[in-house]
Amino acid sequence: MQENDLVAQVTKRAQAWLSDSYDAETRAEVNRMLSAEDKTELIESFYRDLEFGTGGLRGIMGAGSNRMNIYTVGAATQGLANYLKEAFADLPEISVVVGHDVRNNSRKFAEIVADIFSANGIKVYLFDSFRPTPELSYAIRHLGCQSGVNITASHNPKEYNGYKAYWADGAQIISPHDTNIIDHVNRIKDVSEIKFEGDKSKIEIIGEQMDKDYLAAIKTLSLDPEVIKKHHDLKIVYTPIHGTGVKLIPESLRNFGFTNIIHVPEQDVPSGDFPTVESPNPEVPSAMAMAIAKAKEVDADVIFASDPDADRIGCVVKLENGEYKLLNGNQIVMILLNYIMVRNREMGRLLGNEFIVKTIVTTETIKAIADNNNIRMYDCYTGFKWIASVIRDLEGRMRYIGGGEESYGFLAEDFARDKDSVSAISLMAEIAAWARERGIDYASMLKDIYVQNGYSLEEGVSVVRKGKTGAEEIIAMMKNFRANPPKTLGGSLVVTIKDYADLNCTDVPTGRIDKMDMPVTSNVLQYFTADGSKVSIRPSGTEPKIKFYIEVHDTLPKAEMYDQVEAKAHEKIEAIKKDLGI
């Protein structure tokens, strides 16, 4: 499409937002974009409708069809309400839970969502203020609701907000409900179809009692309360990075028995502007800088962080030389699963029907740990809705004991069905006490895991491509990787290619193609090399980026060789990045 044609198209779409159906603030914003000489913002705001995808909505806040605002949120909610009334037509009353994080406009959007549901005759349990995402998942199950919505953009920059939709099992929605909901949302063609006038009699405010019930459930996950009693004074620095974790994570740590929780006061302040960090993401070292400074000041044993909606966990450990190092998401999942398996074995609780779950882009070392503990491991797509799907499929037949993904998410329980930093941080603190009782720390524990199960090093690379042209470039990159797969990566032959877009698994030397057993297709491509390296490539479903997950393997004969093996692995990853052109 020519630039002039595109401007004409978006101008027409924008002018429709100048009608009296839209509020004065929205109309003023649209007029500003229409009158601006530079049409870039106008194009980005109106060149498409903000897509209600399988996880809901996520986008930059502002006026426009491609932005997060009361009208895009309203259409999503009306569509979801219409589908709920169809799917649960036999129930005397349909109920939902609505929650939100600390982001700008989150409370406003949550109240609008509650109003629309109630206007459609649906009972709403609305949290009294911001809460961690996993508590919303817990509340849906605890209250026996049919659905739920959380207003959050997770760890995205401050300009963003989002809309996560949940089903009756407390998990984010998957097939067939996801496509059915999308279809109902897409049927909303006019603002007049959205029922904004709420029925307050159908909205019940919840909060404190749900917190107590949720934290009591998390306390049952503790596997060694006695060791916490011995080491209750472990120095724990915790930061919520201005997010919802401040509400419950310190309380959960105290509930487990820890008494020496050290805050980062500036970051305890809930704020959608995230004023002390460039990005409120515990994966990013700069986001942990203030917490690390506090840890050095007090000589802390460990640092924990949660992202704005408190589903992701960050962990920084103290090394033997007194320095602090950020663990990656794979290492956090490995430590948690290793502890859960070992403690269950020590307690005589392994009956042969236990299982764990990881995503396909998460380290294969977890498979080795599971095999060495005779525990079944299942692989699934990226995203906790897929981990939750495995839990649901095996419910009543096998016992779930943990699952996680490389993107700093872990779920220890089955009473919630989304990643949970509240329980994960509580258990990680318990692991620190358990390690201290044995005269070791996180770093030496991790080395022991590598000695026993094989060494791996992982690195994620995100290539950001914003806007319409960026989306087109990402599509072209995936097409090229499929058409021209690398023959070698890091000096090792590519021997297997898995393409989840058509579920073909190709054995490169023979050309044999087998079909993979996955519930649906997905835009993910994987290369496996002869020396055990794995590269996964996928466009993000929530951010304007394409992600590369690089994993290399080696043996670690003894802990003392860790630095040497790690340096070699870093060299291999750099070589693979060069081969991929990233």
Final residue of a domain: which of 418, 452, 486? Answer: 452
Q: Cβ–Cβ contacts within 10 Å for residue 27, how many?
A: 16
- Partners of 172 in the β-ladder: 166
Average pLDDT over residues 302-322: 95
At 231, which helix (H) or strand (E)?
A: none
Whether residue 216 lies inside any domain: the answer is no
Alpha-carbon Rg for the chain, nearest whole angstrom, is 24
Q: In this structure, are 332 and 366 located in the same domain?
A: yes
Q: In this structure, are 20 and 93 located in the same domain?
A: no
Residues near 327 by beta carbon (within 8 Å), at least 6 away in sequence: 315, 316, 317, 335, 442, 446
Q: In this structure, are 286 and 428 located in the same domain?
A: yes
For residue 58 the two structure tokens come to: 């996520």
Q: Is 325 strand, coil or helix?
A: strand
Whether residue 219 lies inside any domain: the answer is no
d(CA 300, CA 262): 8
Instruction: Please give the full DSSP string across 80-97, using - where no structure is assigned.
Output: HHHHHHHHTTTSS--EEE
pLDDT given for residue 320 in this prediction: 84
Whether residue 469 lies inside any domain: the answer is yes
pLDDT tens digits, one per residue of 415-431: 999 999 999 999 999 99
Please give the tally of structural domains in the chain.
4
Q: In this structure, are 428 and 403 located in the same domain?
A: yes
Percentage of the chain exceeding pLDDT 90: 91
Give residue 40's domain range. 1-44
Confidence class of residue 465 from pLDDT cuts 50, 70 and 90? Answer: confident
Least confident range of 300-314, 369-383, 531-545: 531-545
Q: Is the pLDDT of residue 556 over 60?
A: yes
Q: In this structure, are 4 and 57 located in the same domain?
A: no
Q: Cβ–Cβ contacts within 10 Å for residue 463, how many?
A: 18
pLDDT given for residue 575 in this prediction: 98
Beta strands 399-405; 409-411: pairing state:
antiparallel
Q: In this structure, are 252 and 319 located in the same domain?
A: yes
| Listed residue (449, 451, 442, 452) closest to 320, CA to CA | 442
Percentage of the chain exceeding pLDDT 70: 99
Q: In this structure, are 181 and 258 located in the same domain?
A: no
Q: Is the pLDDT of residue 2 over 80?
A: no
Q: Is the pLDDT of residue 542 over 70?
A: no
Q: Is the pLDDT of residue 541 over 80?
A: no
Check 106, 154, 423, 536 and give the catalytic one.
Answer: 154
| Listed residue (543, 551, 497) closest to 330, CA to CA | 551
Final residue of a domain: which of 426, 452, 478? Answer: 452
Q: Cβ–Cβ contacts within 10 Å for residue 224, how many?
A: 17
Q: Can you give the pTM of this predicted structure?
A: 0.94
Q: In this structure, are 266 and 311 located in the same domain?
A: yes
| Listed residue (139, 124, 129, 123) closest to 107, CA to CA | 129
CATH number, domain at 556? 3.30.310
Least confident range of 163-177, 441-455, 529-543: 529-543
Whether residue 217 lies inside any domain: the answer is no
Q: In this structure, are 384 and 235 located in the same domain?
A: yes
184 contacts 52 by C-beta, under 8 angstroms:
no
pLDDT given for residue 358 in this prediction: 98
pLDDT tens digits, one per residue of 105-144: 999 999 999 999 999 999 999 999 999 999 999 999 999 9
Q: What are phi and psi of 426, to 5 degrees?
A: -60, -45
Q: In this structure, are 243 and 163 located in the same domain?
A: no
Average pLDDT over residues 546-566: 96
CB-based burial label for 213 (10 Å; 0-12, 13-18, 19+): middle
Whether residue 545 lies inside any domain: the answer is yes
Q: Is the pLDDT of residue 540 over 90?
A: no
d(CA 536, CA 551): 9
Q: Is the pLDDT of residue 389 over 90?
A: yes
Final residue of a domain: which of 206, 241, 259? Answer: 206
- Partners of 238 in the β-ladder: 263, 304
Whether residue 211 lies inside any domain: the answer is no
Looking at this protein, which amino acid is placed at residue 359? T
Task: Name the DSSP class of 245.
Answer: G
For residue 167 the two structure tokens come to: 């089903």
Q: Is the pLDDT of residue 3 over 80?
A: no
Whether residue 384 lies inside any domain: the answer is yes
465 contacts 337 by C-beta, under 8 angstroms:
no
Q: In this structure, are 258 and 134 located in the same domain?
A: no
d(CA 111, CA 105): 10
At 151, which helix (H) or strand (E)?
A: strand 147-151
pLDDT tens digits, one per residue of 140-186: 999 999 999 999 999 989 999 999 999 999 999 998 999 999 999 99
Confidence class of residue 470 from pLDDT cuts 50, 70 and 90? Answer: confident
Q: In this structure, are 65 and 190 located in the same domain?
A: yes
pLDDT given for residue 207 in this prediction: 98
Asked about 533 being catalytic, the answer comes back as no
At 540, which helix (H) or strand (E)?
A: none
CATH number, domain at 440? 3.40.120.10
Whether residue 405 lies inside any domain: the answer is yes
pLDDT given for residue 463 in this prediction: 92
Looking at this protein, which amino acid is placed at residue 136? L
